[in-house]
Each structure stands twice: as C-alpha cells, then as structure tokens.
Amino acid sequence: MTSTPRRIDVHQHLIPPGYREALTGHGITEAGGRALPDWSPEAALEAMDLLGTETAILSVSTPGTGFLTDPGAAAGLARQLNDFSAALTAEHPGRFGWFATLPLPDTPASAQEAERALAGLGADGVTLLANTDGDYLGAAGQDALWQVLDEHGAVAFVHPAELPGPAVDGIPPFAADFLLDTTRAAYLLVRNGVVRRYPRIRFVLSHAGGFVPYASHRMAVALAADTGRSPLDILEDFRGFYFDTALSSSPAALPTLLAFARPGHVLFGSDWPFAPAAAGQYFANGLDTGVDPGILAAVNRTNAEALFPRLAGVPAPAPVSRPLPARLRRSVQRAGARAFFRMVQPGTD
C-alpha cells in the first residue's frame, strides 16, 4: 500500500483479561480449533496501523457466553464484557468501536442486554453467534430480541461458532465448519422470514457470508420448493445481507462476493487476532490489487460509514511517530506480503 487507506474493520476481536480467565477456568484454551491468541489494545493498534485500518469495530468471538450453563452467570459475563468494550472505546476515540455481547440462547436476557448496550452504552451494534449449543439464529422464540434490534435499526454482526456436532479429525472448525455455520444461520433467517419482518436490522455475515454468495441460487431453489415463495424474492433476501471480507478477499472468492452482494454491502474485515497479521496482510493485498479503485474505497471505508454514521467525516488521526527501525520493519512486512500474494496466485496458462 502506497498510502493509508483509512479502513474501517468490522471484523476484529478482543479478548479481555477477565474473559480469558473465565474461559481457561472452564478448560477452554482455543476457539474454532485455534489457540486463544494474545491480545492487548496496544497490539491491536499496531496490527491496525500495519493494515492501514483507522477504526476497528471489536467483538467477542465464539464461544461468547455460551460456555456458561447458568443463565445468570452468562448475563453477568455479557454485562462485564460490554462495560469493558465501552470503556476501551472511550479511551481510544476514533480507533475502536464495539459490538455488544449477548447471553444467547437466553432471548429475554439478550433483548434486555441489547437495549442496555445500544441505548445506554453506545454500542455500534451487537454480536450474534450463528448458533449457541445448536440453537440457531432464525429459530422460533427469538422475536423479543429481533424486536429490540429492529427498533434501534441495529447492526447485527453474525459470527460463526463450532457446529453442533463432533468435529472431523484433521479439519479444524475454523477452516470449513465456520463457513457452514454462518450459511445455516443466514438460511434460517431468510427461510423463517426474520429479515422481512424486521427490515431495519442490518445483518453483517462474517467471512463473505460463508457459502451464501456461491450457493445462493441453489439455496433459493430449495427454499422456493419449501415455502412456495418466488426464488427471485428469496435471492433478494440473501442479497440484503452485508458481508465482510475477513479471510475472503482472494482471487477465487472476492469476484463471487462482489458479483452477488448489493452495492454498498461489502465491508472490510481482518479477523485479527485469530487471523494473524500475516494472514490479514495477505487478504488485504488481495483486496487492494483485485478491485476497481472506487469499489476499493467503498469496501475500505464508505460502505461502513453508511452503517456507522458516527465514523463519517471523522478526521484522520495524526500519524504516530515511530522509530526508523519500526517504520522500516513495517515497510518490509508490507512488501513481503505483496510479493507472497503475487507468488501464490494461479497462473494464466
């Protein structure tokens, strides 16, 4: 990158110390088949500067609060995480935003916490795991939550979790199962009419929507046979989702996503720190070198500004003065990532 693109990253995670302690206290040391990475605000800002990210909307990844069997404990942990996220954002204005954690599958408690976070704490939206112990988004009994989110015109960031079944030996969940999990949630949100009954909710699907763009017509045919609805209407429902580019701006996936999504519905995502900085650079380079400059500017920033108006018109932060070796190291990292990306692209012969 020859200039700073001022990206808004809608898919970046945080792992507060108290949350890590709660996970390890229950024997959880990984998520999706990956070890829990180190996290700190300082490390997040360093990774953001490397990718040219001005603002990151932070979220808690899987398992959220779903590892707690006591509903009161889950609700308490969600409040703790949201208070932490709100304070962190206040300490770093313009650099961080946050999606609230909800204690699903407890719908009444989730609706209550969503109201508190959106109206009282200034959350930029909410995080919804595609499933919590097999309870998928779009299933019956969730209308109290949808009502609150619709009233606020909320952004709902849909993040995958581990599938409700045993993992396959040799296939880490993050590599394939996560994509199916997001697709299942999107399918049910469309099938059961949630996106039509609550049109003010802006759903953002992680990782380019899993398999949604690629399999959209196949799913539309299946849903038309199941529900009697027009396949074209069903496709429009799928196209109404927003999609992030985390680990997905490759020469194979990105053209499909851009061909399918509505204009303005593709957002930049990195998945840091679960995706290390090198992976973030690899896919960011795929975006930077693979699309029209106007589309690139929209994906990097302006599409997200429409979802998060508080970020529109925010002046660029003053550049951070760094020692020469640090600047040289970052320049070498970027050049190396660009070279690697070009090296592994499919040939044209």
What is the pLDDT at residue 321? Answer: 52
What is the pLDDT at residue 337? Answer: 52
Contact 150, 198 (CB under 8 A): yes
Question: What φ, ψ does residue 257 adopt, rounded to 5°?
Answer: -60, -45
- Which amino acid, 289? T
What is the pLDDT at residue 148? Answer: 98
Question: What φ, ψ does residue 223 adopt, rounded to 5°?
Answer: -70, -35
- The CA distance from 212 to 237, in Å, is 11
DSSP 323: -
What is the pLDDT at residue 290? Answer: 80
What is the pLDDT at residue 344? Answer: 47
| Per-run averaged pLDDT (10 residues), the chain, 349 residues | 80 98 97 95 97 98 97 98 98 98 98 98 98 97 98 98 93 96 98 98 98 98 98 98 97 96 98 96 92 96 97 69 51 50 47
CB neighbour class for 335 (10 Å; exposed up to 12, middle 13-18, buried from 19) = exposed
What is the pLDDT at residue 1? Answer: 41
- The CA distance from 231 to 219, in Å, is 9
What is the pLDDT at residue 4? Answer: 76
- The CA distance from 78 to 100, in Å, is 8
What is the pLDDT at residue 32? Answer: 92
